[in-house]
Amino acid sequence: MASTPSSATGLIGRANFPHRHLLGIANLAPHEIRFLLDEAEQWAALNRAETRKHDGRLAGLTQMNAFFEASTRTLLSFEVAGKRLGADVVNMHAAQSSVKKGETLIDTAVTLNSMRADVMVIRHMSSGAVQLIADKVDCPVLNAGDGRHEHPTQALLDALTIRRRKGGFEGLIVTICGDILHSRVARSNMLCLTALGCQVRVCAPPTLMPPAVERYRVMPFTDFDKAIEGADVVMMLRIQNERMDGGFIPSSREFNLLYGLNPERLKRAKADATVMHPGPMNRGVEILSSVADDPQHSAITEQVEMGVAVRMACLDVLTRKARGVPSWA
């Protein structure tokens, strides 16, 4: 495990974390990404300890998680993260809320704000919706995934998992394969991993590749056998059917044949390649169970574990101003 604590980077006391919200990786400098990863290491260690409840640094603060789109990992790990830090955590599921009666996004945000949330975690199906809420409320807002735009804590937990497995980022070949076009995970990971020094390859059928994807400083491939050659990390993404309004692939079977990760294909990557998937997986489509459940390569459950640590770090850092704690301390 390679980790550089903030104290070792000489940043303590020199500057404040300048961001009120965490809306995307695009807003973060590489040293700010590393700072959040370093902060997360202590929580990764605590989460493996026998007593996992922290001293309560967020005690007295109210964390509101408002999810307008389905989630298992992100919602629950933000809830666990807040509770481990001592916050009072409340969840709003859009399906059981007044959104169902026609209440607008802004009215919902203003309503939550009136209850004096100290931090909000928002997931929404529209790109840019979390920014809209952040502009309307008085507390820090964390983006838990907005449309096709960004999923910053997913990219941070993926980066933390990679650093713990590989010892660093410089020169690592990371192949991201699947529905790149509709994926906020792909977008946040392209931004995050290139900023940290990885060589990122993205692979998809032409219909699922964003136009001009090279602007993210990544190498596009349509042939998965070529894209996976010599990779240190292979990250698989599911087809985002909920963001499609037409047929982007002929069939799941054909997609699996050309773009599915199976043991044969994995042999083209480095012998110690790490296999990742943000979940939820569509087993038998983008990944076979024999790879997803292979303890020699798969980091999928570790990704979920690091999700709690990363979200604890983000909640802690973003509420420091309200708690009167210097952000780098």
Binding region for ligand CP (CB under 6 A): 71-74, 145, 154, 278-280
Question: CA-CA distance, 209 to 190, in Å (whole number)?
Answer: 13
Compare residues 250 and 280 and give the one whose CB is closer to ligand CP. Answer: 280
Q: Is 181 exposed, middle or buried (0-12, 13-18, 19+ CB in 10 A)?
A: buried
Q: Is the peptide bond before 18 cis (omega within 30 degrees of 0)?
A: no
Compare residues 11 and 191 and give the one whose CB is closer to ligand CP. Answer: 191
Here the tokens at position 290 are 């024999």
Here the tokens at position 62 are 């109210």
Residue 178: CB minimum distance to ligand CP, A? 13
Compare residues 73 and 165 and give the one whose CB is closer to ligand CP. Answer: 73
Residue 13: CB minimum distance to ligand CP, A? 35
Question: CA-CA distance, 113 to 103, in Å (whole number)?
Answer: 15
Residue 102: CB minimum distance to ligand CP, A? 25
Compare residues 300 and 313 and give the one whose CB is closer to ligand CP. Answer: 300
Compare residues 11 and 37 and give the one whose CB is closer to ligand CP. Answer: 37
Residue 157: CB minimum distance to ligand CP, A? 9
Compare residues 84 and 311 and give the one whose CB is closer to ligand CP. Answer: 311
CA 50 vs CA 46, 47, 238, 301: distances in Å: 8, 8, 35, 19
Residue 250: CB minimum distance to ligand CP, A? 26
Residue 279: CB minimum distance to ligand CP, A? 5
Please write down the long-range contacts of 247-251, taking CB distance under 8 Å and 24 or more positions apart: 248/179, 248/181, 248/205, 248/207, 248/208, 249/205, 249/207, 249/208
For tokens 């009136």, name the residue: 114
Contact 209, 220 (CB under 8 A): yes
Angle of helix 30-47 relative to helix 184-195, nearest 10 degrees?
110
